[in-house]
Amino acid sequence: MLSKTIEKALNEQIQEELYSAHIYLSMAAYCDNLNLPGFAHWFRTQSEEERAHGMKLYSAIVDRGGRVVLGDIKKPPTEFKSVLAVMEQSLAHEQKVSASIHKIYTLAQKEDDYATQVMLQWFISEQVEEEASVSQIVERLKLVGEKSASLLYFDKELGKRGKE
């Protein structure tokens, strides 16, 4: 049985994951508007993954006899300064999500909720991967710059995500 404290924390994390999906879709729209379809594809794929993360938490709550309670999803930003700024904001967002998951893990440890700890191990590993991926993109963008032909090559490369 899931404690009310863990249930509440997991419900809040579902909201965070769904907001992540929403913000990444907004970032995709921004990139589409800049005629960078590869970046847009990368963000759309990221959005789909975040929604799947929310559903994974949804299932974890239901499987343990808890109740999923959904709240409002706040409006994401729609304007960004540049492609680099979008990716930097994405990295900061992933770091925030990681911190949130770590808090729930610590709470599960305090409550001796081993099932939640095991489930959250997947999320912890996923966040390490997410942060590393976005960090690499940020650093590569800094190398190629936003006003060079290399940006178009990089855009094409990001467009291959999930298609190989």
Calculate mean pLDDT across residues 146-158: 83
pTM equals 0.92
Residue 51's SS3 state is helix
pLDDT at 164 over 90: no
Domain count along the chain: 1
Maximal CA-CA distance, the chain = 56
Closest CA to 62 of 108, 105, 94, 14: 14
51 located within any domain:
yes
163 located within any domain:
no
Mutual angle of helices 114-144 and 149-158, in 10-degree steps = 150
pLDDT at 37 over 80: yes
The DSSP secondary structure of 78-107, one letter per residue, reads: ---S-HHHHHHHHHHHHHHHHHHHHHHHHH
164 located within any domain:
no
pLDDT in tens, 123-133: 999 999 999 99
Domain that includes residue 69, residue range: 4-158
pLDDT in tens, 1-23: 899 999 999 999 999 999 999 99
Calculate mean pLDDT across residues 148-153: 82
Give me the CATH number covering residue 43.
Answer: 1.20.1260.10
pLDDT at 146 over 90: no
115 located within any domain:
yes
What is d(CA 157, CA 63) in angstroms, rounded to the nearest whole number? 39
